[in-house]
Amino acid sequence: MSDELPWQEAEAPDLDAIETLARAAMSGLPAQFRAAAAQVLLRIADLPDDAMLDDLGIDSPFELTGLYEGVPLTEKSFDDPAGPPDTIWLFRRPILDEWADRGTVTLGALVSHVLVHELAHHFGWTDEEIARIDRWWE
């Protein structure tokens, strides 16, 4: 019998793996949300940058798993000048930390949850509105 553990040689999922999970979650959205979600640029990074953290008043980059940058659909007007594309950021290292801390969810489920939370902001929901229907963090 070997002393090696089955995951001993495993590597942490990379940026591409997180993106693959996020894109799978997007393609699994209900049809009425899929088209609008497809208009949002998806970016994956190891950690949020300092400007993002400063804007949100967050000290540790490990406290932020995802971020929506843009104008929610509920606030857009056809008269608005074109601006930068709406973007959802997913941050690999904080997501992996959350996944390890929880130990009870799959990585795919966690990535999907973070993505859907940020998409909810794109659709115009506040954190309070999301929290009323999403008890994930309890």
What predicted TM-score, i.e. pTM, was given to this entire model?
0.85
Q: Mean pLDDT throughout 100-108?
A: 92
Say if residue 48's pLDDT is above 90. Answer: yes
Task: Compare 40 and 3 and report the one with higher pLDDT.
Answer: 40
**Could you tell me the sign of the dihedral formed by the alpha carbons of 111, 112, 113, 116, in that order?**
positive
Q: Which of 15-19, 59-63, 75-79 has the lowest mean pLDDT?
A: 75-79
> Is-contact 44 90, C-beta < 8 A?
yes
Q: Which of 46-55, 81-90, 106-115 has the lowest mean pLDDT?
A: 81-90
Report residue 118's pLDDT band, with 50, 70 and 90 as the boundaries: very high
Token pair in block for residue 46: 């190891």
Tell me the range of 16-20, 24-28, 32-36, 69-73 where mean pLDDT is highest: 16-20
Say if residue 126's pLDDT is above 70. Answer: yes
Res 76: pLDDT? 76
Say if residue 137's pLDDT is above 90. Answer: no
Query: Among all chains, which residue has been given the structure tokens 């309890």?
Result: 138
Domains and their CATH numbers in the chain: 15-71+83-133 (3.30.2010.20)
> Is-contact 64 48, C-beta < 8 A?
yes
The torsion angle over the Cα atoms of residues 12, 14, 17 and 23, rounded to 10 degrees, is 130
To the nearest whole number, what is the mean pLDDT of the chain?
87
Say if residue 138's pLDDT is above 70. Answer: no
